[in-house]
Amino acid sequence: MGLRILILLLISVHAISARPQTEEDSDDAGEEWKVECGLHNKNGIEGGSPKGISAQKGEWPHACIIFRNEEIIGSASLIAPEVLVSVAHKLENVSPDELKIRCGEYDLRNESEQYEHQDRKVKNFTIHPYYTGSKTVKNDIVVLHTTEAFKQAPNVNTICLPDSDTPVFTDSKCYSMGWDSAKEKESWEPKMTQVQIDLTNRNECETSLLDSGIFPFSSLDKSWICSEDSQVQKTPCEGGAGNSLVCQEDGTNRNVLAGLAAFSIGGCPNGIAEIFASVSDAICFIHYETTCKHGSKYLDHYYYPECNDYAKEKIAELEDLFKTARLTAEASKYNQDVLAKLTALKESCKADLAIRRFQLG
């Protein structure tokens, strides 16, 4: 970790000094952002004590809401002033101009909170190139970019991303938080909710789910995180897509974004497990997509130098696969689609970085 910080500082100084400030930079940079990701205001920003599953005001300042044509479709997590992550299956066949992101919200029925929420339009978003679609939801991650940066405030801040090495969260409980988008339900909760849950050992979870007879897949994909904690029954399993899974990272004690709520097993309100899209599994995609769109601008928020050649390396892997493996027609089609998406990502990245005079390694 220490080596990464040193590399980050050296590259940040070089890249930023080599890149003149653009009009775009000065327009949306806003007030200076003090990087202090992963804040958990346990008593809220106004003081108070927990009531049921409701979080406190400003308790999780990274948690945001996605609106599509003014209707809530899910939650998102702020990872840099103009960058958020959520689940891909909520944004299939959706245009960026239909979307709005709100950060700093607490009670959707209260218009007079002490700290105002902030709304931003979505400039564009990129779905993980390995995303398999809403029927199987593997690699269910999307990175969104706003037209204007959010301003840091007591109720608006970023969440840390996990270390790129395999993170360990076994020694501490995690929290899942966000909003319920199922407003038509009698039990709809307008306030941000949070539930404290334990993660389940991967092998144990897979065995248990397969034995349940209701798990619709043959294995637990590597892009998923599982919790069979009984508390998952308190999560908004029909309207909680994209809700954050935040865990304390062993070794660093940072609150990091471990996952994003993807789907539940067992139905409401008696679900037996909650499946989250793994953020650490998608970390190179998130890094690559961020530097493609923003150059060196957010290197102080997160930086993974080993991911600089993400698209190039994945394209090479697929090309080698086509040469050496005998694929079924279905597998061949899927991998050809992934190759096309990776190639498009790489080409768009070149164009974006050329504009910002920034060079990936």
Whether pLDDT at 52 is above 80? no
Taking each helix axis from N to C end, the angle separating 310-324 and 329-356, rounded to the nearest 10 degrees, works out to 160
Whether pLDDT at 133 is above 90? yes
d(CA 81, CA 301): 9
Within a domain: 2: no
Domain count, the chain: 3
Whether pLDDT at 163 is above 50? yes
Strand partners, 224: 277
d(CA 346, CA 331): 22
Tokens of 150: 């959010």
Asked if residue 37 and residue 152 are part of one domain, the reply reads yes
Asked if residue 90 and residue 44 are part of one domain, the reply reads yes
Within a domain: 10: no
Whether pLDDT at 354 is above 70? no
Asked if residue 203 and residue 133 are part of one domain, the reply reads no
pLDDT value for 172: 60
- Residue 156 belongs to domain with CATH number: 2.40.10.10
Within a domain: 287: no
SS3 246: strand
d(CA 138, CA 222): 8
* 65 within 8 A of 90, measured Cβ to Cβ: no
Within a domain: 346: yes
Within a domain: 30: yes
**319 lies in which domain range?**
309-356
pLDDT value for 167: 66
Whether pLDDT at 4 is above 60? no
H or E element, residue 204: helix 202-212
Asked if residue 181 and residue 140 are part of one domain, the reply reads no
Residues 205-236 have pLDDT tens digits of 999 999 999 999 999 999 999 999 988 887 76
Within a domain: 9: no
Whether pLDDT at 279 is above 60? yes
Percent of the chain residues topping a pLDDT of 70: 80
Q: Tokens 């090495």 correspond to what residue?
A: 165
Whether pLDDT at 258 is above 70? yes
Q: What are phi and psi of 304, to 5 degrees?
A: -130, 85
Kindly report whether the global pTM for this prediction surpasses the value 0.75: yes
Within a domain: 11: no
Asked if residue 277 and residue 181 are part of one domain, the reply reads yes
Within a domain: 242: yes
Asked if residue 110 and residue 204 are part of one domain, the reply reads no
Asked if residue 154 and residue 39 are part of one domain, the reply reads yes
Asked if residue 273 and residue 153 are part of one domain, the reply reads no
Asked if residue 314 and residue 218 are part of one domain, the reply reads no
Asked if residue 241 and residue 347 are part of one domain, the reply reads no
Asked if residue 248 and residue 156 are part of one domain, the reply reads no
Where would I find the H helices in 225-309?
A: 283-294
Asked if residue 77 and residue 33 are part of one domain, the reply reads yes
